[in-house]
Structure 1
Amino acid sequence: MTDATGRPADPNSFAGRVALVTGGARGIGAAVAQTLAARGAVVALADVLPESEWTVGLGAPHTRHRLDVRSTQSCQAVVDEVVAAHGRLDHLVNGAGIVRRGPAAETTDEDFTTVLDVNLTGTFRMCRAAYAPLAVARGSIVNIGSTNGHVAVRDTVGYCVSKAGVMHLARVLALEWAQAGIRVNAVGPTIVPTDMTADVRADPEYLAEKLATIPLGRMAEATDVADTVAYLLSPAAGMITGQTIFVDGGVTIH
């Protein structure tokens, strides 16, 4: 619904819209999916994990899809499945990602390139696959970046470089795709209590040092990230494109 000026009556509502969330099985992706569904979206969740490992429980009309972002064919197939199932695609959230930890001097070619292939090239593959239906809908994209892509962090060289790329990819696509009416943004969370960070959160010394870098003194919750993603996708952010919002409690203000 729109008001007398043609603007959405509720710019935070996703009623009538379809959102595809990669990495949607658990963690930040699952929180994003649940937030968008609560605001009225039909959500297509996609992940490489078997369904037995999914933690999100959205039923019909929401759908689940098997996705390997390392494969161009898989990315295109999932987009086609979503459009076939729901008739449109309005929003894409690129949340699929992995991390490999260790000193840069000991990081193998395989570890480095695998992280980049999933996190950065996989995000590009999904954006490219979704371009046509998003252009029809004049839709929006949010990439999940990280503070690691903005500040140097030890022992995660592939992850840091990939997340810097994910956030800059949002800028480049925002520039190129503005003429198609597609907005592209990113979010950059600090540490979030998910499975991906379970190993470092189990180290009291690491966690104390990490929290000391966060002015607000706590980790970001997955819902903090999801609320920011929802804002950037929504008409409420209709004049925002090519930006990264850091959900970091102040880490990047130093």
Structure 2
Amino acid sequence: MTTTFSTTGRVAVVTGGSRGIGRRVVERLAAEGYAVVVNYRGRQEAAEEAVTAARAAGGTAIAVPADVADPAAVAALFDTAEREFGGVDVVVHAAGMMTLAPLADLDLDQLDEMLRINVRGTFVVDQQAARRVRPGGAIVNFSSSLTRFARPGYSAYAASKGAVSTMTLILARELRGRDVTVNAVAPGPTATELFLDGKDEQTLARIAAEPPMERIGTPDDIAELVVFLAGPGRWVNGQVLYANGGAI
């Protein structure tokens, strides 16, 4: 028997939706029929472009600014989603930051800021999501395959994403009986502006050769998985899914 998942009336909040993977997730959810709230922190023009792209894909979208680590701002973000669209069914928390340096050299102020955005930000967004997502909904966080790669220079970033993975697994169990799934996607190298910046062709070729698929991932690769977890993937819960072409 084939079951068709309906997105009619479903509402998604996507943090970090103005660029990169988050931007592609916005477009894909809109194309599936979701009303999408595009959260951004400081890139209003990029967020408005994401809204335009979402509408062109056939969906409904608005842009709402919020610092994901600020509880009042995040509560206001969810308030807006509920006021404009009637509720929240899916939360995709794609906002994050990455600062790279060997552990011995990383400036602690940079560490504090990354932990604020990646760890506290996930906690704050997930708090609101846990309180507000409707039955049949989904929470999708973003971890990273770097928690397994153990590459020099990534200790702080990988540690912050390891915290995201742990929060995800525990929250899934805390929401027992709510009919809300909680998962994390852990991308490997993905061809976004942030990833490609500063890398020469030789470096990119070396990275592309690592997975058996012999290429670098694309935002589409990751967005496709997010759309599955947001909708029809109801029996996937409390998992960290490593989307890296088999590199690990």
TM-score > 0.5 by shorter chain: yes
User: Which residue is 2:35 aligned to?
Assistant: 42
Closer/same/farther in 2, CA of residues 40 and 53 from structure 1, 3 Å limit? closer
Q: Is the 8 A contact 1:102 1:156 kept in 2?
A: yes
In the TM superposition, 1:28-67 aligns within 5 A as 28-54=21-47, 55-56=49-50, 57=52, 58-59=54-55, 61-67=60-66
- Structure 2: give runs of 5+ residues left out of the alignment: none
SS across alignment from 1:16? coil
User: Which residue is 1:161 aligned to?
Assistant: 159
Number of equivalences: 242
Q: Is the 8 A contact 2:142 2:186 kept in 1?
A: yes
Q: Whole-Å Cα distance in 2 between the matches of residues 155 and 232 of structure 1? A: 31
In the TM superposition, 1:98-117 aligns within 5 A as 98-117=97-116
User: Which residue is 1:240 aligned to?
Assistant: 236
After TM superposition, the runs of 4+ consecutive aligned structure 1 residues lying more than 6 A away are: none
In the TM superposition, 1:13-24 aligns within 5 A as 13-24=6-17
> How much identity, in percent, do the aligned residues show?
29
Q: Whole-Å Cα distance in 2 between the matches of residues 122 and 191 of structure 1? A: 22
SS across alignment from 1:184? strand
User: Which residue is 2:245 aligned to?
Assistant: 249
User: Which residue is 1:180 aligned to?
Assistant: 178
Q: Whole-Å Cα distance in 2 between the matches of residues 111 and 206 of structure 1? A: 25
User: Which residue is 1:82 aligned to?
Assistant: 81
CA-to-aligned-CA distance 1:98-146 (integer Å, 9 cap, x gap): 1101111100111112112111220110010122221x43411111111
> Is structure 2 residue 214 aligned with structure 1 residue 217?
yes
Q: Whole-Å Cα distance in 2 between the matches of residues 21 and 178 of structure 1? A: 23
> Is structure 2 residue 4 aligned with structure 1 residue 10?
yes
Q: Is the 8 A contact 2:211 2:247 kept in 1?
A: yes
SS across alignment from 2:121? helix
CA-to-aligned-CA distance 1:25-61 (integer Å, 9 cap, x gap): 0110010011011011111110102312334223473
The letter for the 1-side match of 2:4 is: D
Q: Whole-Å Cα distance in 1 between the matches of residues 186 and 7 of structure 2? A: 23
Q: Whole-Å Cα distance in 2 between the matches of residues 206 and 164 of structure 1? A: 25
Q: Whole-Å Cα distance in 2 between the matches of residues 246 and 34 of structure 1? A: 22
